[in-house]
Amino acid sequence: MHSEMDGVTEELVTADDGGLLWTTASGTRGSRAFVFCHGGPGFWDTLGPIAELLDDVAFSVRWDQRGAGRSNHRGPYSVDRCIADLEAVRRHYELDRISVLGHSWGATLALQYALAHPDRVERLVYISGTGLSWDWYPEYEARQNAALAPHQARLTALAAKPELTDAERREQDLLYITADFPDPTTAPAHAEDQVTPWFPADPACNSAVNAETRSWDEQDLIKQCQALDVPTLIIDGSRDPRPRSAIDSLHRALPDVRRVVLERAGHVPWVDDDSSFASALRSFVVGSDV
């Protein structure tokens, strides 16, 4: 199905309950295998630039999670369902052991997959995650509101409308995403890239999965992570509006972990500090800086 150096291919994967999952693959078949997990929940894949960093050393599969983007918007939505869908993607591409890479909510999913299937995971890359509890959220909300102050009038006007057009929903998503970038002069352009292409976010997926993760017990998760024998890379941007102290308990719990903090980066570190991000990722994957 794939040549030695592959172009980008797209395939629909059928999950064990019949749900259809959009996937795309690129890179070098037969080398290290990665499966990428995007943020959200209910958002869609925007991790193509990271896959490109690994094209010469890895075979990378990206996918839209259930309830997101080009995949079926078909519940019920749960973390276990997301894990099973990720497993369906692994099986479809006939991958034995994989590295899982996740961003934001996707970092939580990647970690949960590694906890559920440690024998199938070679490495874990945890980018801009939010740790093992929701204690960080009030501080994040305050930081986000401050960053969104220039757009607040427009966001308030959009929120007051009984129904939004697709163009207005896209605008609303774009404005919120600007808060994830530390430089307000470049944030709108970077946010535009994140919502191109754009798909309607799925509030049912977002609500169900977030409610589940809010119910988790941090101490139980710490114990699980202490037993996870998987090499892990944590990459943080120090200017992420989600406070980076949220990751501290996870960092302490994991037995084989490396943490890289990028001082110039926000929530999307491969955009804000691309060279440092690439160096950290490539060093972890292939064992030497590039």
Q: Could you tell me if residue 189 is inside a domain? A: no
Pairing of strands 98-103, 121-127: parallel
Q: Could you tell me if residue 152 is inside a domain? A: no
Task: Report pLDDT for 4.
Answer: 37
Helices (H), the chain: 48-53, 79-92, 105-116, 137-147, 152-160, 166-177, 187-194, 203-214, 218-226, 248-253, 269-272, 274-286
Query: pTM score, two decimals?
Result: 0.95
Task: Report pLDDT for 7.
Answer: 64
Q: Could you tell me if residue 12 is inside a domain? A: yes
Q: Could you tell me if residue 150 is inside a domain? A: no
Neighbours of 204 (CB within 10 A): 14
Q: Could you tell me if residue 80 is inside a domain? A: yes
Q: Could you tell me if residue 166 is inside a domain? A: no
Q: Give kind and range of the element (H or E) at residue 13.
A: strand 5-14
Q: Could you tell me if residue 83 is inside a domain? A: yes
Low-confidence ranges of the chain (pLDDT < 70): 1-7, 288-290
Neighbours of 148 (CB within 10 A): 16
Q: Could you tell me if residue 27 is inside a domain? A: yes
27-49 in b/e form (b: 16+ CB < 10 A) is: bbbeebbbbbbbbbbbbbbbbee
Among candidates 257, 42, 26, 39, which has minimal Cα distance to 169? 42
Task: Report pLDDT for 290.
Answer: 38
Domain range for 22 is 5-139+203-286
Q: What is the pLDDT of residues 228-246, one digit of tens each?
A: 999 999 999 999 999 999 9
Q: Give me the number of domains the chain comprises.
A: 1
Residue 51, domain CATH = 3.40.50.1820
